[in-house]
Amino acid sequence: MTISQKVKLIMEESSWVRKMFETASQLKVEYGEENIFDFTLGNPVEEPPPGFKEALKEFALNPIPGMHRYMPNSGYAETRRFIAQQLSQDTGLPFTEDHIVMTIGAAGGMNIALKALIDQGDEVIVPSPYFVEFQFYIDNHGGVMRLVDTREDFSIDLEAIERTITEKTKVVLINSPNNPTGVVYSEDLIRDLADLLRAKSRKRRNPIYLLADEAYKTIIYDGFPLPNILEIYKPSISVNSYSKSLGVPGERVGYVAVNPSFPEVEEVMGALVFLNRTLGYINAPALMQRLIPLAGENHVGPKEYQEKRDLLYQALIEYGYSVVKPQGAFYMFPQSPIEDDLAFVSDLQQSFRILTVPGRGFGKKGYFRISYCVDMEVIEQALPSFAEAAKKYGLH
């Protein structure tokens, strides 16, 4: 035995997404890629927006002296200023570059934010179903995750959150637009959550922080308004990513923004920047940071994703699946027609060559996740198989 017992156990139990992805790879070899409908990974197929490649070429042909060197751990001031301007416009809050730290995607952002906030044993409340990596990020920094079931429409159950808050609660972590459900929390819901957290925080020395994973912020459908969490609740931190908005998850760039009107903003920012360095990230990739202001307001989607959502959602409803209509991101979380989501997902795989992820991989048995950031043809070709599966399981 060479590796830690804890890590070994976690690895054995973790990541249904990865397990399904590995099965998918095997099946593709066995049956040919075109005969497998792979809806397992949230890996965007859309290329980055226009101008991205040209800007890359420009940097290669006319490099700026020193552009590959170390930089301040918070990232380039110019990039942070650009983001601050965007956030000020969106929220009306006085953001400057001092309220932004550039990170290694949202994943890096979540890790520095959680480490900055929690002491050993502090509790982090997470509405479930949830993006399963959260449990590891929280555990990385000695926190204890407290899952709270959402309502049937996957909105946050405030009474359940209230019942779960204890003296040890330090953070409520929300993710909207949501992975795996595609749900976007309404402004009323966020305001009510903020009221609850304010009331609970009043009785204690430290506030309860609201940590918002907004990695899918730009992928919202039907003009649904995404509430400005930073504007609504002062002790709030927003974690963002360009992985999905620019279609560059392999390039690892995102940022964390802290509410400028929060009295302890300086202390929190100091911790985030320090941790960016000491967790070993040092800084987010330099070239990607330089490209962000050049990309401006351009991003991938949401039009393309909305078309895919529409096609898939309409068809699944027609075939008799029970699905909450996604308002953002590129995931759908239908109910499994049988209680055992693992058995259903396995049968989808074996009998219909449709690859999805069982709900238990997101803390909710009896459901399955479809990631529809795939080519339109994959959805079109998979629909008859979804229909066959519905028939087999007696859906109408």
Ligand X SMILES: Cc1ncc(COP(=O)(O)O)c(C=O)c1O
Give min distance, CB of 147 to ligand X, in A.
15
172 vs 315, which CB is nearer to ligand X? Answer: 172
- Between 213 and 341, name the residue whose CB sits nearer to ligand X: 213
- What's the min distance (Å) between Cβ of 30 and ligand X? 27
Q: Please state the closest distance from residue 219 (CB atom) to ligand X, in A.
A: 11
Positions in the binding site for ligand X (CB under 6 A): 42, 105-107, 131, 175, 179, 213, 215, 241, 243, 249, 254
Q: Determine the distance from the C-alpha atom of residue 294 to the mean position of all C-alpha atoms in its chain, rounded to a whole number.
A: 24
In the complex, which residue's CB is closest to ligand X?
105
What's the closest the beta carbon of residue 213 comes to ligand X, in angstroms? Answer: 5
Nearer CB in complex with ligand X: 107/291: 107
Distance CA 35, CA 382 (A): 9
Rounded CA separation 127/154 (Å)? 9
Distance CA 275, CA 272 (A): 5
Name the residue nearer to ligand X (CB basis): 243 or 335.
243
User: Given CA atoms 230, 236, 242, 244 in this order, what sign does their dihedral have?
Assistant: negative
255 φ, ψ to 5°? -155, 160
Please say which residue, 248 or 315, places its beta carbon nearer to ligand X. Answer: 248
> Minimal CA–CA distance to 395: which of 345, 342, 350, 334?
334
User: How remote is the C-alpha of 370 from its chain's centroid?
Assistant: 15
**Per-residue three-class SS string for 29-47:** HHHCHHHCEECCCCCCCCC
Q: Quick one: 220 or 389, whose CB is closer to ligand X?
A: 220
Residue 136 backbone phi and psi in degrees, to 5: -75, -40
Residue 211 Cβ, how far from ligand X at the closest point, in Å? Answer: 11
Grouping H, G, I as helix, E, B as strand and the rest as coil, residue 380 is: helix
Question: Closest distance between ligand X and the C-beta of residue 214, in Å?
Answer: 9
CB of 109 to ligand X, least distance (A): 7
Pairing assessment for the beta strands 368-371 and 254-258 based on DSSP bridges: unpaired
Sign of the dihedral through C-alpha 81, 83, 89, 95: negative
Residue among 237 and 315 whose Cβ is closer to ligand X = 237
User: Sheet containing 368-371: which strands, arranged edge to edge?
Assistant: 331-332, 368-371, 357-358
Distance CA 383, CA 129 (A): 25
Residue 311 in tokens: 């096609």
Q: Which CB, 118 or 173, lies closer to ligand X? A: 173
Q: How far apart are CA 139 and CA 132, in angstroms?
A: 12
Q: Which residues is 395 bridged to in the sheet?
A: none
The owner of tokens 């000020």 is 88
Nearer of residues 284 and 312 to ligand X, judged by Cβ: 284
Q: Smallest distance from the beta carbon of 123 to ligand X, in angstroms?
A: 20
- How many CB atoms are closer than 10 A to CB 361? 26
Closest CB 318 distance from ligand X, rounded Å: 28
Distance CA 71, CA 77 (A): 10
Residue 233 CB, shortest distance to ligand X, in Å, is 19
3-class DSSP state of 57: helix
Q: Please, which residue, 73 or 371, has the CB nearer to ligand X?
A: 371
303's enclosing H/E stretch is helix 303-319
